[in-house]
Structure 1
Amino acid sequence: MSTDRPLAMVTGGSSGIGFELAKQFATNGFDVAIAGQSDRVHQSAEALRELGAQAWAHQHDASTYDGVEGFWSFVAGLGRPLEAAALNVGIGLGGAFVDNDLDDELRLIAVNVTGTVHLAKRVVQDMVPRGRGRILVVSSISAATPTPYETVYGPSKAFGFSFAESLREELRDTGVSVTALLPGATDSDFHVNAGMSNTALGPGAKKNDKTLVARQGFAALMDGADHVVGGDEETQRQVEENRTTPETVKAARQAELTRPR
Structure 2
Amino acid sequence: MTDQRSFAIVTGASTGIGLELARCCAKAGFDLLIAADEPAIETAAIDLRASGVSVETVQTDLATEEGVNRLCEAAKGRPVDALLANAGRGLGHSFLDQNFAEARKVVDTNVVGTLYLVHRIGNEMSRRNSGRILITGSIAGFTPGSFQAVYNASKAFLNSFSFALREELRDSAVTVTCLMPGATETDFFRRADMLDTAVGAAEKDDAGEVAQLGFDAMMCGEGDVVTGWKNKVMSAAANVVPSGTLASQHRKMAEPGTAKS
TM-score normalised by the chain length of structure 1:
0.96
Alignment correspondent of 1:40: 40
Q: What does 1:1-261 correspond to in 2, within 5 Å?
A: 2-75=2-75, 77=76, 79-202=77-200, 204-230=201-227, 232-261=228-257
**DSSP-derived class of the 2:127 partner:** helix
| Alignment partners' CA distance in 1, 2:241 and 2:209 | 27
- Paired residue type of 1:62: L
**DSSP-derived class of the 1:152 partner:** helix
1:156 Cα deviation after fit? 0.5
Aligned pairs, how many? 257
| Alignment partners' CA distance in 2, 1:82 and 1:222 | 14
1:165 Cα deviation after fit? 0.7
1:68-98: CA deviations, max 9, x gaps? 11111112x1x42110000100000000111
Q: 5+ residue gaps in structure 1?
A: none
| Alignment partners' CA distance in 1, 2:46 and 2:36 | 14
Percentage of matched positions with identical amino acids: 39
| Alignment partners' CA distance in 2, 1:124 and 1:98 | 36
- Paired residue type of 1:227: D
- Paired residue type of 1:19: L
- Paired residue type of 2:31: D
Assess if the C-alpha contact under 8 Å between 2:11 and 2:87 holds in 1: yes
**DSSP-derived class of the 2:195 partner:** coil
| Alignment partners' CA distance in 2, 1:98 and 1:120 | 31
Comparing 248-257 with 127-136, which one deviates more in the overlay? 248-257
Extract structure 1 runs of 4+ deviating beyond 4 A. Answer: none
| Alignment partners' CA distance in 1, 2:110 and 2:38 | 17
**DSSP-derived class of the 1:3 partner:** helix
TM-score normalised by the chain length of structure 2:
0.96
